[in-house]
Structures are given as C-alpha cells and as structure tokens.
Amino acid sequence: MKKRIVLYKRLSDDLMARLQERVEVTWVDTTLPDGLARLRDALPGAHGLLGASLRLDASLLDLAPQLEVVSSVSVGVDNYDVAELSRRGVMLTNTPDVLTETTADTGFALILATARRVVELANWVRDGHWQANLGPAHFGCDVHGKTLGIVGMGRIGEALARRAAAGFGMRVLYHSQRAKPEVEARHAARQCSLDELLQQADFVCLTVPLSASTEGLIGARELALMKPEAILVNISRGRVVDEQALVEALRARRIRGAGLDVFVQEPLSVDSPLLQLDNVVATPHIGSATEETRQAMARCAVDNLLSALAGERPANLVNEVCRT
C-alpha cells in the first residue's frame, strides 16, 4: 500500500506525476479561506508533508501521529520547531544549494538598485518628471571599488563575495561565527567583528539564518555604527533587523538607504512606513523566485520526501530523529 502525503505547494505536472507513482497525494491549497481547515482534515493518516511557508505547531502535529517526514521547499527552517519534530521522530528536510546563486543575484540586484536609485528614478520618469538633464539631487553612488560587508558567510554569503570581488572589484569584509580561510583565499575577504564591519562597509548585506542569536541583530546601536553614506541590504529574514529602528535611521538619513527583500510581517502592509521612504527598495521576498530555481527547489523537496519515506537518509536532512 502506498504511503500518504499531504501536498500544500503546487508542483509541475512532471513532479506531481512522479509523486503519484510512489505515494498517495492529497493536495490542499492553503491560500484559500478554508485552506487551513482542509489541511487539518487531511493530516490524520499522513506519512509526509511537502510544502512551504506554513508554521507547523504542536496542534497540527498532534493531528498527524503517523507523520514521518516534513519536506520543506525552502532553505530556512524557522517555521518549524526542529526540536519538537525530532522528539516526535519526524524528519525535517530542506532545499539548500539550489537557490544559492539566484538569491545572491537578488542581493546584488538590491545593492545596485538602491545605490543607483533605480526604482525611485524609474518611477520618476514614468510619472513624467524627466524634463531636463539630471542634477546632483538625483545622483546615486558607485558600487564598484567600494567595501561590501557580508554578515553570515555561508553559501549565499560566498556567492555574494565572488560577485563583489570578481565582478565589481570590491573589498570584502565578513562576520561569521567561524573563520572561512578558503573563502578568504578565493575572494581576498577578511573576517572581522560585526562592529568593525558596520563601521567600514559601504554596503552591509545580511545573509544569516534566523535564530535566537540573530533575531534583532541589527538594531539602533548597529545602525548608528554604519557610515551615513552606507546602504543596508537584507536577504535573510525580516526579524534579523529591528524594523522600527531602521525606519528611524532611514527617515533621519543616518544611512543612505536600504534594499529589503524580507520583512517582519509578510506580505508587507501597504501602510508600512518603509513604503513611504524614497531611500528604500522593497521587493516581495523574491530571493529564489525564478522559474528555474523554484523548479529545482521543488525537485529537491520531492527527492528528499521520497528518500525519507523509502527508509533512506535524505540528502538534506536538517535534524536527527529519535525513533522508538
């Protein structure tokens, strides 16, 4: 008898067909008004879950006593209580690697868009204000030859470092829990304290995962250490930054600007003060949002799930389970 999985993320036809060959699939569209209720109804008897952007709490897990694996179509796993899943003997898998380059592209897009005021000035042209040659009031700042500070030197951090050093001739500083001599050798990067990075970098890019130690990592004190002409870019998680402190720093022009792909509350409210500021470029969490990368992530998640249900160790296992 086939094992049963609950799918709450749309898949391509070929991936859906592959799943249906091996397991019984129940599809639930959690974006519908009754989506969560439908999900709860589908959980009893489920051996696997596959999807993203759903916070699995104990009340949901209690409905799935036969659950063996949660396959998340994401790199970040902050929506999951990893310790609780482990205690219940439920494997958690994610999809690293396949989105590294695409997310680094997004980071650099935000660096360039914010530095050169691309969104602001494109809207200015669209609104019919381009009537004469530009003057200093509309100038941006250069990216090439500047200093990029990367907070969190994982896969995405190194992909950013490579783009910065090889493509833009930038000096690279980084702050991470441990030194990365191989990254330093490849990209002439230098490890330093967070304070030193904030004081020296022209662009500060956040790539750390969300955890107890990184939540609120960048607050009023840290923003005050940055250069007045510096730009903050966040492609990690919204809660890594104290959003109100950032709004105040941007309003007062204590830093030049911010390029943000993640926010404390998503979707971002239309009345967010961030959207009232012309020195903010805000994108709707598009870090991995290309057709190619999202398909690769989904394929990886399917591989993880099928391996786990076959009794194998998935390639991207996040936790060690305690099976009894």
Establish whether 320 is a catalytic residue. no
The list of the chain residues with pLDDT below 50 reads none
The reported pTM is 0.91
Establish whether 237 is a catalytic residue. yes
Establish whether 144 is a catalytic residue. no
In a 3-state reduction of DSSP, which class is residue 245?
Answer: helix
Q: Across the strands, what pairs with 157?
A: none
Rounded CA separation 144/281 (Å): 19
Give me the catalytic one of 187, 237, 256, 299: 237
Environment class of 196 (CB within 10 Å of its CB; exposed 0-12, middle 13-18, buried 19+): middle
- The answer for residues whose C-beta is within 8 angstroms of residue 43's C-beta and 6 or more apart is 6, 60, 63, 64, 67
Amino acid at 276: Q
Token look-up 């130690």 returns 213
Q: What is the pLDDT of residue 174?
A: 98
What is 3-97+291-309's CATH number? Answer: 3.40.50.720
**Ranges in the chain annotated CATH 3.40.50.720:** 3-97+291-309, 100-282
Q: What is the pLDDT of residue 35?
A: 93
Q: Which of 86, 93, 48 is nearest to 66 (CA)?
A: 48
Model confidence over 5-24: pLDDT tens digits? 999 999 999 999 999 999 99
The DSSP secondary-structure symbol of 90 reads -
Give me the catalytic one of 229, 266, 292, 312: 266
Token look-up 């051996």 returns 47
Environment class of 212 (CB within 10 Å of its CB; exposed 0-12, middle 13-18, buried 19+): exposed
Q: What is the pLDDT of residue 322?
A: 64
Domain boundaries 100-282, CATH class:
alpha beta
Rounded CA separation 249/233 (Å): 14
